[in-house]
Structure 1
């Protein structure tokens, strides 16, 4: 009897497995090769197109905008506001003292923290300890550049002017600075950068140790006043009220008023910066606080001098800074302008100065200033929008002459 040509079931299964693996079965493996490779090539082509498209969208900001749009926003339960006990932070002092911020924030709890330097403020913001802060523009620029544009966003201005270079009465002028020691509030701060660039333009080397070199010792403004009083430094490039106190109490004289280095005497001394992450998550809270900011600036610009002086003094005490004589505050106010305009066109020059001073690197400032939230608030209040301040676009000159930016 002839053997059964049909193999057992287990043998058939083994045969099918081996045939698939070897590729000898043309019915199944053959079809996979004919259909699979075109599909793989098509998939790769689609992937390349998507990759290129994503790259283009990322480059022009569209993808970032889409991602930002997908962020769930809400009112923050609390917001921590940082500021200094300086008169150049007047809108912060008045806003906290008069309750403008607290009232504007509504159910959002307002917490405050007082600082003495910009770099320490930035450190607190980077750690998430502070959400919004008043500071000089250069520390904010430094942070923005170092983070690749991810750390902070400027949403408003606060003060223009108020910074001066005060020297002891034995300094005869710009040609009598070699071998002397001067102070600034902090290394890389706005006044520190201004002094370093100005000295370079006068032909001085800084901190080289040579007899013709000029030394710069950063220190908090209050300490600078004491050190100036002791005769350990020859001058201070810093903010109000400290420079006025050095004049009134210690016989110092103004060698340079920084307003003279900018067109029309306008430049940002204090700005309002927000942690970019906080801004994306809680834009409603930022807009509310900007309403309080507008209230504070309006108050300072319209209140009687005696009332404003009293409010600012109370604000200084609240910031754990000693109160001042009314005449000291009044003299300081003459050197300043309160404004929510961030003066965006000044920042390329401020960045360039930071690069010259060796405190930052050159980089794009795209996205550093965003005045859309402020302008939304201003529109609701019937105020003109800010932005495009052409007056601040010129490059400051150390001689006080105004030269247009190239």
Structure 2
């Protein structure tokens, strides 16, 4: 089977086609908004027959890899698409916390990385969530001290990752194994892998207490621009089967919310597509909007050079790049961080593909290869 395609809304299209797509999305949004909520916020039914919630609680991270969420909130694109449904945005600093909130019912949907979604699917035996759209590809890799020139130079070295079992941690361990280097969950082996907060890793690298790190943007750029690190591995170079594309962030929803309020989920995806189109069509403004949200949420914006470098290293796309998710799960199994798991059914791309078809865009795939 061929690798999935990676369309971005409006990419490579003439101006009139982009306007037509935006018009189609606005028309679909208007149809979905015909069913107003009662004053008490009780669920209603849209004109298309999809039940809607009075409120949707959406999670995301103050991180540039969550730029579609940051832009969508800052520019009011979710609020516009949701109509009378209230958006209750909540932020998290790590995938496990967001997943816990989703499972407990504290949020209804969230932007998140692939491995937390895989872990939740496995632990719940396929009952916790559905992946409803892609969001971000790329922007991860291994940065090291300048004297390190290849895998052989990593023996006896200390390499950080954001968290044990997270997306970048699995990627590092799989790459080490492919280069005949060992690394166990306790920090032993040929290479000592030290899971820790990205900001802590940056400080540790600057102080010389670690030799490198495998991490996502913006820290991939910050290590190089602020600490003099060398990029040893750009992870996109490892994904030859998917043309250099791999899922960094996608949009998920709890199965319970999807069943109860499919109309609201469709509206959420409409807002997501609008955010992707805004990023594609207004790169400079999108960077400013994302950084404004990061500053508001974390208290400190990214430096302009880091922001520009991170954006350049990321691709924002509705395609979930499903083949890379299945491969990531396989890698986690191979390095002993995940038991064998059947991911069949983890995707529900029906609403997304209906919207893409309405907008004259190619549909996306949930195929494993």
- Scaled by the length of structure 1, the TM-score of the pair is 0.75
Tell me how many residue pairs correspond in the alignment: 319
Mapped contact 2:239–2:246 kept (Cα < 8 A): yes
Post-superposition Cα deviations, 1:289-312, rounded to whole Å, max 9, x if no partner, equal 100000000111111x43222112
Cα distance between partner residues in 1 of 2:366 and 2:262: 23
Mapped contact 1:81–1:130 kept (Cα < 8 A): yes
Post-superposition Cα deviations, 1:240-282, rounded to whole Å, max 9, x if no partner, equal 1111011000000111100001021111111111111111111
Cα distance between partner residues in 2 of 1:321 and 1:251: 25
Whether 1:242 aligns to 2:219 is yes
Cα distance between partner residues in 2 of 1:281 and 1:320: 33
Q: Segments of 4+ in structure 1 off by > 4 A?
A: 208-212
Aligned to 1:141: 118
Selected match of 2:231 from 254, 279, 282: 254
Query: How far does residue 183 in structure 1 lie from its aligned partner after superposition?
Result: 1.3
Mapped contact 2:187–2:193 kept (Cα < 8 A): no
Query: How far does residue 380 in structure 1 lie from its aligned partner after superposition?
Result: 2.9
Post-superposition Cα deviations, 1:170-218, rounded to whole Å, max 9, x if no partner, equal 3232211112211111121111110111111111111488986211121
Q: Secondary structure at the match of 1:319?
A: helix
Cα distance between partner residues in 1 of 2:325 and 2:354: 22
What aligned pairs does 1:187-266 form with structure 2 within 5 A after superposition? 187-207=164-184, 213-263=190-240, 264-266=243-245
Q: Which runs of 5+ in 1 are unaligned?
A: 1-71, 394-406
Selected match of 2:330 from 349, 352, 357: 352
Q: Secondary structure at the match of 1:337?
A: strand
Q: Secondary structure at the match of 1:79?
A: strand
Selected match of 1:286 from 265, 272, 277: 265
**TM-aligned CA distance change 1:209 to 1:133, over 3 Å:** closer
Cα distance between partner residues in 1 of 2:63 and 2:344: 30
Mapped contact 1:100–1:295 kept (Cα < 8 A): yes
More divergent stretch after superposition (344-353 vs 266-275): 344-353
- Scaled by the length of structure 2, the TM-score of the pair is 0.82
Mapped contact 1:196–1:357 kept (Cα < 8 A): yes
Q: Which runs of 5+ in 2 are unaligned?
A: 1-48
Cα distance between partner residues in 1 of 2:360 and 2:79: 22
Q: Which has the higher contact order (CA 8 A, sep 6+)?
A: 2
Q: Secondary structure at the match of 1:265?
A: coil
Post-superposition Cα deviations, 1:8-40, rounded to whole Å, max 9, x if no partner, equal xxxxxxxxxxxxxxxxxxxxxxxxxxxxxxxxx
Selected match of 1:88 from 61, 65, 68: 65
More divergent stretch after superposition (350-359 vs 193-202): 350-359
- RMSD between superposed Cα atoms in Å: 2.0
